[in-house]
Amino acid sequence: MGRPTAQKAPQGTEPVTHETLQALHTMGHGRHLVRWIYRGIRAQFHISLDVLKATWVTDIGRDINDKEWSFSLQYAKQVSRNTRFKLIQFYLFHQAYLTPHRLNRIYHTTTLHCPRSHAADADLLHVLWSCPSLTQYWNAIGATLAEIMDESIGLSPAFFLLGLHPWKRASKVRMRFMDLDLLLAKCQLTRCWKSPHAPSLLSWKEEVLRCSQAESAALRREECRGLRRKPMSLEWDSLVEELRTHLKT
Ligand SMILES: [Zn+2]
């Protein structure tokens, strides 16, 4: 399939749903598609990056310095080799998902309330992070990661949602492993957007295991072809083994 043309870009206030992402995913792979989608999101919602940054600063409750903001802008491009996963992080970063709050601004008859906790004015931060019904979900994910990494994992939306790691010296492999795990946790949330229940922790762990094994195979192929200066697969596999052990307990 050739490169998509600008005429096919999403227009107006077309709802951005998981189904939309799936449909876009079938259109092709690669950097060109992601770049095209990125431009489409920006054009669709007329997003000012200054406004977006101010919104995130308010949402995560702390300042974002220039280096962190620059990282966040690039994060979706590098968080995964899977195009669908990249798009999910793009939409999340640009706050483009249709939350009850956003839907109510478009269709005034829809409810503002969270489908899980029934809290009023459920915006993106609420439905992804601060909803009381998700507290156990995020706590359990943080605890699982802390056990696998043998490291304290603070529950921070800056880290969990934007990928702003609190560690300066963590190895590239460990950060990549955590990025994948957290991305899959967010993917689960986007799949059950309207569900009254939090996503299943067990299904998250199983998907992390499946995807991290696939990543292991991809790393090994790259190493065999001499595409990596530093081998990563051994360290990666030790983390996968930790996860597998954790699943058995
Ligand atoms: Zn809620």
| pLDDT > 70: percent of the chain | 80
pLDDT value at 31 more than 70: no
pLDDT value at 29 more than 70: no
Nearest partner of 80 among 40, 119, 25, 123, judged by Cα? 25
**What spacing in Å lies between the alpha carbon of 130 and ligand 1's midpoint?**
7
Rounded-to-integer distance, Cα 238 and Cα 233, Å = 9
CA dihedral 51, 111, 19, 156 (to 10 degrees): 50
**What spacing in Å lies between the alpha carbon of 127 and ligand 1's midpoint?**
6
**What spacing in Å lies between the alpha carbon of 67 and ligand 1's midpoint?**
32
**What spacing in Å lies between the alpha carbon of 200 and ligand 1's midpoint?**
16
* Other residues' Cβ atoms within 10 Å of the Cβ of residue 25: 16
**What spacing in Å lies between the alpha carbon of 122 and ligand 1's midpoint?**
7
**What spacing in Å lies between the alpha carbon of 151 and ligand 1's midpoint?**
29
Q: What is the pLDDT of residues 151-186, one digit of tens each?
A: 888 889 999 999 998 776 678 899 999 999 999 999
**What spacing in Å lies between the alpha carbon of 185 and ligand 1's midpoint?**
17
**What spacing in Å lies between the alpha carbon of 134 and ligand 1's midpoint?**
8
**What spacing in Å lies between the alpha carbon of 116 and ligand 1's midpoint?**
5
In the block, tokens 């295991």 appear at 209
- ∠ CA 6-9-12, rounded to 5°: 130
pLDDT value at 133 more than 90: yes
What length is written for the chain? 249
Per-residue tokens: 213: 């094994």
Q: Which of 31-45, 103-117, 123-137, 223-237 shows the lowest per-residue confidence on average (mean pLDDT)?
A: 31-45
Element (H, E) at 20: helix 18-25
Q: What is the pLDDT of residue 212?
A: 92
